[in-house]
Chains A and B, each alone.
Chain A
Amino acid sequence: MIVMTEKNIVGIAKVKHPQNKPEIKSALYNLLAQMKTRNKIKITPKANIMVKPNICLVKGYETGATVDPFVVKCLVDWLLQNYDIETITIGEADATELNVEVAFKVLGWEDTFNQYPNVKLLNLTKDEYIDIDLNGLYFKNLKMSRSYIKSDFLISVGKLKTHTMTGITCNLKNLYGANPIKNKAQYHPYLDDVICDLNKARLPDLCLVDGIIAMEGAGPVSGAPNPLGLLIIGTDAIATDHACTRIMGFNPNKISHLTLAVKQKLGSIDYEVFGERIEDVRTKFEFVPSWQKIITGIYRNKIINRIPLWKKLLVRIFRT
């Protein structure tokens, strides 16, 4: 018997003027409407929705490091207009150099959402935890935010940017940030495994990538802003990230966490593109300087990492 599986889709929209808010809103609404028409957004009535944006540190969206709260506002507005929703929670966890509450304030998330009665901002690190038997590549079991794991519909809002250690960020790496542990730097030598585990813990139902102001070079926090004006959407983190990798001008087969996620069957690279064609929006992102890649290679080497002094020195250099 042949089982027909539904093919993934990835939508791409380009705005001409990355600072033009109405243009961004219109482009995102159009992408979401097309996803809805294609029956790719399956939200049950009275759903509790979790939105996980990438807010890796207290740097504004204009730097290319974090998601623009305006993009999430447009997403929230569209969801509220189109579905019967109980609550929308915007959740991010503390990280080595991130205090989520400060980020919500300083980066304008509080100002953006304080007028929404059924939208709340949540520090996933401070939420009630739930134990998950994961049997993953790195974690055998994991404590995660209950609101995050038990949400009816999980939306990952990643950022289109390079990453010194993983090559790219986008969605798979964004969900790595949902781990409520603050000291995430401890996982850096095992990033690919940990990324896959965090995705396995809760697969996203919708993936959006904010590439309006992307980041190239020494990402995820020290790179250069690139005003690309792109929004990328999909139901599958692997498909969406695969498309994003191609848009950035990189070879997806060389992004090790992406290829590992494919092997782990966390999604599929078989997808169709709607909206803009990848060939038309493809660019050539500046990648991490080669000397940094060598250092990163050493940093990620599991044997060298057992030497405490090396680790301390390299953590000082790459405080990401």
Chain B
Amino acid sequence: MDKISVGIVGLGAIAKNMHVPVLSTFENAELKAATEVDVKRGREFAKKWNIVEVYDDYNKMYENANLDAVFVCLPSFLHFDAVKSALEHDLHVFCEKPMGLKSDDAYELVKMAKKRNLVLAVGYNRRLEKNYEEAAEIAKSLRLGNILQAHGILVNPGPYAGWIPSSDWFFKDKYGVLYDSGPHLISIMMHILSDPITEVSARGISTMHGLNVFDNIAGVFNTENGVVGTFNVGWKMASNYDSIQVHGTGGSVFANPLEVEVRHGSYGSLERVADHIKLAKKIVGAQVGRMSGDKRPSETYFREDRGFVDAVLNGGEPLVSGEEGLRVLEVLEAIKGSVDGGKVVEVRRHL
């Protein structure tokens, strides 16, 4: 096989703006079919991208479209059923994050994919950001000495303020931001640390009047190797911001999508002057970058989709595997338990 046939499940924002434009550039992937409950809207979009078949039910597409793989781009609470059915139809699956809402469900999917020798990938594109990959390399290289602390934050304006979702599904789950921004942040942090989170203690607030939904959650965690750290996810912020700090006895790494910086040793007045010079250069550089007005999907979507297609064609591992998706859900579940119970909760692991 030198080319795969791909179907898209759900033509919401993530499919329309990211995966479809990205996949359409691949020579070894044919966008053959799509599923969209609003068939009229789906057909209009499909025509634009030369997707021949449009279904109103993914099971019909799985049975009739003669596909090799599917991209599940539905709201999170629909992921499990759509992925499970695809695997039952012997289709390789790329599932947008998170891989469902329950870790037991995710474990079932991982087992199914393994048993049927199918590729199961999860869309944690943000952990593929070049700077986070670099931070992970630095953390693994022993150049930070013994890692003792890690801190991560991912905040944004949230649905309807930062982006327009296709429906109100973001607010259907009580844990709101946790299953929206949380999966990305936990995935990035576990990737950088290469160290499983073992227990968490978290608190949340809900400031969305009339909706019983957590819009801000913060917490503390411990890892298997004894790192202590914090995580913060939030909606309703004026700006988008995400960053990670990892501190070790031999150095610290500070990473965000715009920059990655490593510091070793003392940080005196001369270093601060040097930093101000570097910052001035970055500000000028960023302004020049903004003037280019590039609206293409981020490079991370190209990388994750390419990784998935290559894994299907060549039989390797995708960049973010189902197992990794499962580990993130296990942590999210512990955070959920801690937010509800106000206690330290141990992460329940399946593998």
Contacts and interface: CB of A to CB of B under 8 A. Distances in A.
Contact of A222 (B144, B145, B265): B265
Nearest to A61: B145
A62 B249 contact: yes
B262 interface: yes
B342 interface: no
15 contacts: A60-B146, A60-B250, A62-B145, A63-B249, A63-B251, A64-B145, A218-B265, A221-B265, A222-B265, A224-B143, A225-B142, A225-B143, A225-B144, A225-B250, A227-B142
Interface residues of B, number: 18
Nearest to A220: B265
A292 B250 contact: no
Interface stretch (B78-86, B123-131, B192-200, B268-276): B268-276
A226 B144 CA distance: 9
A19 interface: yes
Contacts of A317: 268-270
Interface string B136-177: 000001111110000000000000000000000000000000
Contacts of B146: 60, 62
A267 interface: no
Interface residues of A, number: 23
A225 B145 contact: yes
A282 interface: no
A223 B270 contact: no
A223 B145 contact: no
B114 interface: no
A63 B142 contact: no
Given A218-B264, A224-B251, A224-B262, A62 B142 contact: yes
B266 interface: yes
A67 interface: no
B264 A223 contact: yes
A225 B265 contact: no
Closest 8 CB pairs of A and B: A222-B265, A63-B250, A225-B250, A227-B142, A62-B145, A224-B264, A63-B145, A222-B266
A223 B142 contact: no
A319 B269 CA distance: 13
Output the residue of A59, A222, A226 with the most chain B CB within 10 A.
A222
A123 to B, nearest CB: 23
Interface string B233-269: 0000000000000001111000000000010111011
Contact of A295 (B251, B262, B270): B270
B52 to A, nearest CB: 54
A319 B248 CA distance: 21
A167 interface: no
Contacts of A69: none
Contacts of B141: 227
A292 B262 CA distance: 18
Contact of A223 (B249, B265, B269): B265
Interface in A200-237: 213, 217-218, 221-227
A169 B142 CA distance: 21
B142 A213 contact: yes
Contacts of A319: 266
Contact of B250 (A64, A218, A295, A316): A64
Interface string A280-320: 00000000000110010000000000000000000011010
A224 B266 contact: no
A18 interface: yes
A224 B142 CA distance: 10
A60 B264 contact: no
B297 to A, nearest CB: 35
Contacts of A226: 143
Contacts of A64: 145, 250
A256 to B, nearest CB: 23
B124 to A, nearest CB: 28
B155 to A, nearest CB: 31
Interface string A49-83: 00000000001101110000000000000000000
Contacts of B262: 224
A59 B270 contact: no
Contacts of A62: 142, 145-146, 248-250
Contacts of B268: 316-317
Contacts of B250: 60, 62-64, 213, 224-225
A30 B187 CA distance: 43
Contact of B274 (A213, A224, A291): A291
A129 B262 CA distance: 44
Contacts of A60: 145-146, 249-250
Nearest to A286: B264
Nearest to A226: B143
A166 B322 CA distance: 52
Nearest to B251: A224
Contacts of B266: 221-222, 319
Interface in A26-64: 59-60, 62-64
A55 B52 CA distance: 71
Nearest to A289: B274
Output the residue of B142, B265, B270 with the most chain A CB within 10 A.
B265
A201 B247 CA distance: 41
